[in-house]
Chains A and B, each alone.
Chain A
């Protein structure tokens, strides 16, 4: 096992009466791709946001390469996200009035890279992701899958060693979803970088090197058998849920 470079210890977070994170411990190693699965409200997005320094936990700590992320102030965390992390969101969330290349170059320009250099580097990434010739299209002129690939280019153009992806294929059909996952894995783990993604989709999770499960704020190595999804749907008689019914390992450090 390689050394840890992102680790979380005893993370807890509540939203009112709800527990989003309950004493979560997690170690992430360079070059791996980790999928975090769970039902809606299980705390998986809160975990991703806490690891990425977007949200502060009520207690516990996150350490990235020797830096105590939870001890940083808002401006320092913003700088860390801009310089060291990459992000891919469900619907891309690219700036609609910018072209594909400008969206990617902006990530570099925010770090002080001159526009000409930023666009040259972005051009390479877009071509690498199969978007050659589409650099000057505005986001509205791209398909959902193409827009996600622009988002992947934006997440990696800065050389971020870790990319956080929140339901990156959530808005795509299954074929496009597979293509985008291939692009995302190639651009990250395929180049020795790390990918942490949150997903509902077992097919997407199965492409990652490790899958973890969240349930009621607790992280485990195996999915819970409690058919939460079935209970949430009134009138559902058959207990089919998207979570595979595996044996429980209970809580464990993931």
Chain B
């Protein structure tokens, strides 16, 4: 252990040009931390507030919804953690492969990488706590249960903060270990493990079968008209739809990319389509949490729009609850997009470094930089669009009679959801644009 630490110390000196690569994972973790703490603080406020003043008996519903919203954040946060860890490994490629060449075991090199990316994460987590504190005054203005959340309820107790930070550090370490499984640390360099793209058509067949069953069940249930059954239907649509999306996602991404490849007339489109087809599963994985987000946005948005337009809120408490659920859905969607935008940026930075030599050679061949930039942006934006729009449409189809009603009776609510999804797609684009300086730096250093 002592020798591991001393090697780590020796290798920890920053290499020239590695600044951005070190800063990006730290920024990613700062964002994860700030968002987690904010979401956690918001969720906990429903648990601390309600014991004394819960005349309406709504506390249970709020607590359940808050817990659900927090659980939705886990997957995108882990994705971002994993991306940040992979980028840390890439940053160290030459040093780590030299270590392997000198006889360092894969275990030693892995441990070094995990310790190091965890340390980078710790710096990011510290910054995230500051960011959380700085954002609180604005978050405190958000209204739930008819009143502003207020600063007092949003300060996390020391114990919770400690557990959250410890969990994040653990997440960083686990993500680094998982992220390393995707990377080969050989004596000849660090590169992403190449797997033959295998996406079986059986996925589509299974998915289509499940969709039909789900649709029939839901049509029968919706026809009964009871509110309780409606909630069960929404939950079933949610759980079933998500399972369906993950089953079919990679296949759909592959199918659409294949069609776009056949029609590609420009270098950008050719490169982007081929880049997705290289691993449709990886392309799906990077954006898969958006399928959940988009799905929730449409399912919850539709439900809430219909309830609101039907004047189903029998009393003030119900009206407030529905309004709050809408706020909660919007926050969940925005946070998810922020997380995916960050992972897309971090993943792209890692991908550029992974293929440094290739980008340099393309530059030497005279490939214009805007073409390289557009191709790698499009390789992410296509799946983002497919996933966001596809999941939204799937949710709308599964809820068909309800969706139709929402469009007719609450067009503004539907437009708001569509606008939020479009804004989220724009956010991912910005995340990708943030990684552009890495390519410029790679080409300049060559």
Contact = CB atoms under 8 A, between A and B. Distances in A.
A87 B271 contact: no
Contact of B265 (A52, A85, A96, A114): A114
B361 A82 contact: no
Nearest to B358: A93
A97 B267 CA distance: 13
B71 interface: no
B286 to A, nearest CB: 16
Interface in B241-283: 264-267, 270-271, 274-275, 277-278
Contact of A87 (B194, B274, B364): B364
Given A87-B365, A98-B270, A106-B271, 13 more contacts: A54-B364, A78-B366, A79-B366, A81-B364, A81-B365, A93-B362, A95-B271, A97-B278, A107-B365, A109-B266, A110-B371, A115-B270, A140-B194
B14 interface: no
B368 A78 contact: yes
A110 B366 contact: yes
B357 interface: yes
B367 interface: yes
A134 interface: no
B259 to A, nearest CB: 15
Contacts of B267: 106, 109-110
Interface of A: 49, 52, 54, 75, 78-83, 85, 87, 89, 93, 95-98, 102, 106-107, 109-110, 114-115, 140, 154
A115 B265 contact: yes
A106 B265 CA distance: 10
A28 B399 CA distance: 72
Interface string B364-378: 111110010000000
Contacts of B278: 96-97
- Interface centre among B194, B358, B364, B366, by most chain A C-beta atoms within 10 angstroms, is B366
A96 to B, nearest CB: 8
Contact of A85 (B274, B277, B366): B366
A197 to B, nearest CB: 15
Interface residues of B, number: 22
Interface of B: 194, 264-267, 270-271, 274-275, 277-278, 357-358, 361-368, 371
17 contacts: A78-B367, A81-B366, A82-B368, A85-B366, A87-B364, A87-B365, A89-B364, A93-B357, A93-B361, A102-B274, A106-B271, A109-B270, A110-B267, A110-B368, A115-B264, A115-B270, A154-B365
A102 B361 contact: no
B79 to A, nearest CB: 22
Contacts of A75: 368
B17 to A, nearest CB: 16
Is the contact region of chain A dominated by helix, strand, or loop, or is it mixed? helix
Contacts of B265: 114-115
6 tightest A-B CB contacts, nearest first:
A82-B366, A81-B366, A93-B361, A97-B278, A97-B274, A109-B267
Contacts of B371: 110
Contacts of A85: 366
B366 A83 contact: yes
A109 B270 CA distance: 10
B361 A89 contact: yes
Contacts of A115: 264-265, 270
Contact of B270 (A79, A89, A106): A106
Contacts of B277: 97
Contact of A80 (B194, B366, B367): B366
A179 B264 CA distance: 34
Contacts of B362: 93, 95
A95 B274 CA distance: 10
A49 B264 CA distance: 32
Contacts of B270: 98, 102, 106, 109, 115
A78 B371 CA distance: 12
Contacts of A80: 366
A221 to B, nearest CB: 28
A83 B278 CA distance: 29
Contacts of A89: 361, 364
A81 B271 CA distance: 20
